């Protein structure tokens, strides 16, 4: 049972345009969400997070939106750059008494010139 | 500040053997968690250790075990290896636990022949 789903395995975007990566979850108990970026042969790198008490968090070119009623979050990258080409994972955390970190299967983003 | 260090980077074993992977967290981080990454499955949470105690556990069989030492370094052991255990094993550390961004190592690539 995949509690965190990234239904698009890949995405291709032109440099300078917006990249939108999507993530859906099934467990309404999740209260903290994160996005990680992973280059080949390296470990994931934390990008941005959002708590369930917010619906938007912004950090430079990266913005995460959370729609709790739809159990959906998205990562917007504006403008996209070739260096953003990587695999992006969303992750969700359950409150401390059953604390786990659940990752999606990842979306491979390719930004072309 | 040194990052999370995992050793070895690559490992080849045969079925039925056992293996121990090592992880040195960022200095001062007390939480160490382990993940298995396989194609199509994303990152799957194995377990988390905090101050030498296993605090959280994912849905893996008992062949997968771990421990954490007083200096926060952690080891993961897999016994009676199976072909399906071939994967990238990632370790991550944080100050307080899974409700904070995780800092990942570059992983150990385990191949089972």
For residue A1, pLDDT over 90 is answered with no
Phi, then psi, of B53 in degrees rounded to 5: -120, 135
- Is B2 touching A (CB cutoff 8 A)? no
CA distance B52 to A13: 45
Q: What is the pLDDT of residue B41?
A: 78
Task: Give the percent of chain A with pLDDT over 90.
Answer: 82
CA distance B95 to B14: 36
Cβ–Cβ contacts within 10 Å for residue B40, how many?
7
Measured between beta carbons, the chain B residues lying within 8 angstroms of A6 are 42
For residue A51, pLDDT over 80 is answered with yes
Option in A32, A49, A99 nearest B56 (CB): A99
- Rounded to a whole number, what is the distance in Å from the CA of A42 to chain B's nearest CA? 5
Residue-by-residue pLDDT tens, chain B, 113 positions:
579 999 999 999 999 999 999 999 999 999 999 999 988 778 899 999 999 999 888 889 999 999 999 999 999 999 999 999 999 999 999 998 888 889 999 999 999 99
Q: Which of A43, A93, A104 to mutate to test the interface with B (most CBs of B within 10 A)?
A: A43
Q: What is the pLDDT of residue A97?
A: 52
Q: What is the pLDDT of residue B71?
A: 93
Option in B4, B98, B105 nearest A101 (CB): B98
- Rounded to a whole number, what is the distance in Å from the CA of B47 to chain A's nearest CA? 8
Phi, then psi, of A8 in degrees rounded to 5: -100, 110
Measured between beta carbons, the chain B residues lying within 8 angstroms of A103 are 35, 42-45
Contact B98 A41 (CB under 8 A): no
Pairing of strands B53-57, A107-112: unpaired
């Amino acid at each position: 049972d995949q509690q965190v789903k990234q239904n698009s395995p890949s995405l291709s975007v032109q440099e300078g345009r917006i990249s939108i990566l999507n993530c859906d979850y099934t467990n309404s108990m999740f209260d903290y969400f994160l996005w990680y970026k992973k280059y080949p042969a390296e470990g994931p790198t934390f990008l941005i997070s959002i708590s369930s008490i917010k619906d938007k968090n912004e950090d430079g070119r990266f913005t995460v939106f959370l729609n709790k009623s739809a159990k959906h979050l998205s990562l917007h990258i504006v403008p996209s750059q070739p260096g953003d080409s990587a695999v992006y994972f969303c992750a969700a955390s359950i409150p401390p008494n059953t604390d786990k970190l659940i990752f999606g299967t990842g979306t491979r983003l390719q930004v072309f010139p | 500040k040194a990052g999370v260090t995992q050793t070895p980077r690559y490992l080849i074993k045969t079925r039925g053997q056992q293996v121990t992977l090592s992880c040195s967290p960022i200095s001062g981080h007390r939480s160490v968690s382990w993940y298995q990454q396989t194609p199509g499955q994303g990152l799957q949470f194995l377990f988390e250790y905090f101050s030498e105690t296993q605090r959280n556990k994912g849905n893996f069989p008992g062949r997968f075990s771990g421990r954490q030492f007083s200096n926060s370094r952690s080891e993961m052991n897999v016994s009676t290896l199976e072909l399906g255990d071939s994967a990238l094993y990632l370790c991550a550390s944080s100050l307080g636990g899974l409700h904070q961004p995780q800092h990942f190592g570059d992983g150990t690539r385990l191949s089972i022949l």
